[in-house]
Chain A
Amino acid sequence: MRVLLFIPCLADQFAPGAAEATAVFLEHLGCEVIYPPDQTCCGQAHRNSGATQTARRLILRMAEIFEGEEPIVTPSGSCAAMVRRHAVELFSSTEPVPDAVRSMVSRTHELVEFIENELGLAPDEIVGDPGAAPPVVAWHPTCHLREIDRFEASGRFLDSVPGLEVRRLRHQEQCCGFGGTFASKFGAISGALAEDRCSALVDSAAPVLICNDTGCTMNIEGRLSRRDSPIPVLHISEWFCQALGLSYGEAGTDQ
């Protein structure tokens, strides 16, 4: 199956390894992965800040770049939610929704959702055991998965990976405090929420945290670094690549 890869701007810049793992993982699952190189941002930050016009312009631009019949797959829950839940409402009041936007909305999927619903694969059909990946992980559900009805689903997907123990964190339903510009504008509140997540992670004694949104990842990693708790945070695709023995990421390109 041909798929178009939609990489969030944050992942492009701050977590290219997670983005690459997504591509490698999809290729392993039999997809022909195409990355439209002109993509930038879906407009989520602008939409959330109330800059509707700019957000509308950006989503239209993305929709044109992603035109076609192929499914669009993104490793980020919040970008998927932005497209699926909010792209159309940016237009409703003033103008008809362009066909390209409607088409993008109907074709966009978050990675795990795509694997489950479009490829129709169960975890045990993908991987027999954790292999080289950590066999015990903590799971951080991304808030925006709520908006596409996937808040519990991705965690359940992980639960059924053979040989993997998935630990749920205390107050797992509570936001890690990222929220885009919120994290900078309300640093004290956001930082306190990040600390809740990190202390729950430390208490879980899991050696690694798995997440499927690069915004949350940046936030949690930042707090873990500040409080000197060196627990790695992996994107879900990175865990699967490790389990399957697939290499991703070029050495020495991270810094």
Chain B
Amino acid sequence: MNQPEIPTSVDGKPILFPGGKFDIRTRAEVFLQDEVLQVAVREATTLKDQARRDALEKAFGDDVAEIRKLAGAIKQHTIDHLDHYLEQWIDRAEAVGTRVHLATTAQEANRIVVEIAREEGVRLCVKSKSMVTEETQLVPQLEAAGIETVETDLGEFILQIDHDAPSHIVMPMIHKDRSSVARAFERVLGARYTEEPEELTAIARDHLRGKYREADLGISGGNFLVAESGSVVICTNEGNGRFCTSAPKTHIAVVGIEKLITGFDDLSVLLHLLARSATGQPLTCYTQILTGPKQPQELDGPEQMHVVLVDAGRTKILADPEFRSALRCIRCGACLNACPVYRKVTGHAYGSVYSGPIGAVITPLLSGIDKNSTLPEASSLCGACNEACPVDIDLSGLLVGLRRKIRKQRGSWPERMALRLLGFAFSHTISYRIASKLQRFFLLCISGGSRTIHSAPGPFAGWTRDRDLNLPARISFRDRWARKGGRIR
């Protein structure tokens, strides 16, 4: 199989799965300079962030925190009893004629899909948006097997024809502007150059409608797996998901095992939160509950329905109680929109299909802490993500947990030394006083007599890159207090 071309990022590594050690700072430097990108991402994320707040407030008033807790508990319960619900889901799904496949790794998931496609003699596959298939890099594998595969989500379609990669969980082409879409349509589809959104949508629709009619395989992801009925739930806005899962004679849903929920009562709570958190809509335009292939009494639907349940590192997360709650994630993207760091560095800086706070947590957990060690560090721990998360994941707490792991495994020695010295300084009143004097002396030396330091070496260099540093006060508060005879004990 020849490996298809993977888009390359600014640091010469693939946008996704950069391989080897990877530093978010290298990419951030470049993306921070990209004015167009900065504006596009800032506008879109702040807009969606506000839409989320408004929608939740409108629906739940003062109870937003309560319903987020409830949703978190619902997901946590299923994850804590994943074996039970997984078995139940498989039983029910198989009872209605769904063919269930288990994939331990990403490669296995891809292989299963490609094999089904080959057995069915598939030539053309239409695909709706799915993060897990981005994670497993399914499309290049299908293409390599000679199966033409068309992304039908508008954003994903544009990325596909542009050999680009998604940079946001929900708004995959948040990093692109209209003109780049216009150019891609002109180049690849031979369309007349236009930047009108309606016209661009119409061009894509014309192109895609033909594909749905010809396709003999539809691939989707899944937002939820309902254990009590063996259903796959798919939430989409464009209607492309419906075409993909009903027109072709075979439908394959590729779904991560963490998508399980117990039943429809739980589904109701989560649906109340998913679209509101993602885009501010009360519900996505289409919510499909797919329970098995076409039944004898039914008029339409696929003749075959396959579901590939993907592990790909999820059970590894499950096995660690400290990080298990990361599996609650329903991929709404709210934490990305709320995250100050995501807004600045933008999605491709993370080197993963999962960016933002949730990406900084699960990318190291799924594909190795070692090569992704800068991701959990790249956060001010402002907690905006925790507040945004509809399933109440303590994302900043998990980032700190990962930092602890990193320090244990491979903290750099200057940093370890600095933390140890600081720890010592803080441990005694006398060492604290000496250390403060030393710090002031050091800063005084490099200040060149000014009260403000414009450029500092060592641990202060990052600080003074874009900021000045004021000298510490000549007399600390504790000394002022002592001088004025303030009460102590």
Q: Which residues of A contact B (CB under 8 A)?
A: 7, 9, 11-17, 19-20, 23, 32-38, 40-41, 43, 45-52, 54, 57-58, 61, 89, 143-144, 146-147, 171, 173-175, 177-180, 182-195, 218-219, 221-223, 225-226, 249-250, 253-255
Contacts A13-B473, A16-B476, A179-B382 known; list 7 others, CB within 8 Å. A57-B427, A58-B423, A146-B384, A173-B338, A183-B463, A194-B466, A225-B452
Q: How far is the CA of A50 from the CA of B406 in the complex (A)?
A: 8
- Of B211-219, B326-334, B372-380, which binds chain A? B372-380
**B465 contacts across to A, CB distance below 8 A:** 187-188, 191
> A38 with B469: in contact, given A50-B400, A182-B380, A182-B381 (CB under 8 Å)?
no
What's the nearest-Cβ distance from chain B to residue A144, in Å? 7
Within 8 A of A (CB), among B14-33: 25, 28-29, 32
Q: Which residues of A contact B25 (CB under 8 A)?
A: 186, 188-189
A175 x B476 contact (CB < 8 A): no
For the complex, what is the distance from the CA of A246 to the CA of B204, rounded to whole Å?
68
0/1 string, B357-384, CB within 8 A of A gives 1: 0000000000000000000011111111
Interchain CB contact (< 8 A) of A188 among B28, B343, B428: B28
Known: A20-B480, A50-B404, A174-B340. A255 touches B427 (CB 8 A): no
Q: Which B residues are closer than 8 A to A by beta carbons?
A: 25, 28-29, 32, 46, 49, 338, 340-341, 343-345, 377-384, 386-387, 397, 400-408, 411, 415, 419-420, 422-423, 425-429, 432, 436, 439-440, 451-452, 454, 459-478, 480-484, 486-489
Residue among B343, B428, B439, B489 having the largest count of chain A Cβ atoms under 10 Å: B489
Whether A253 touches B470, Cβ cut-off 8 Å, given contacts A23-B486, A34-B487, A193-B344, is no
What are 26 A-B interface contacts by the 8 Å CB criterion?
Answer: A11-B477, A12-B478, A13-B476, A14-B473, A19-B477, A35-B487, A35-B488, A37-B429, A46-B422, A48-B381, A49-B415, A50-B401, A50-B403, A50-B411, A51-B407, A146-B383, A171-B46, A182-B378, A186-B28, A192-B466, A194-B467, A218-B470, A222-B463, A225-B468, A249-B480, A254-B473
- Per DSSP, chain A at the interface is helix
What is the chain A residue whose CB lies nearest that of B376?
A: A50
A-B pairs with beta carbons under 8 A, tally: 225
A195 touches B466 (CB 8 A): yes
- Bound Cα distance A184, B379 (Å): 12
Contact assessment for B488 and A37 in the assembled complex, using a CB-CB cutoff below 8 Å: yes
Contact B487 A186 (CB under 8 A): no
**Do residues B452 and A13 form an inter-chain contact, with CB atoms below 8 A?**
no
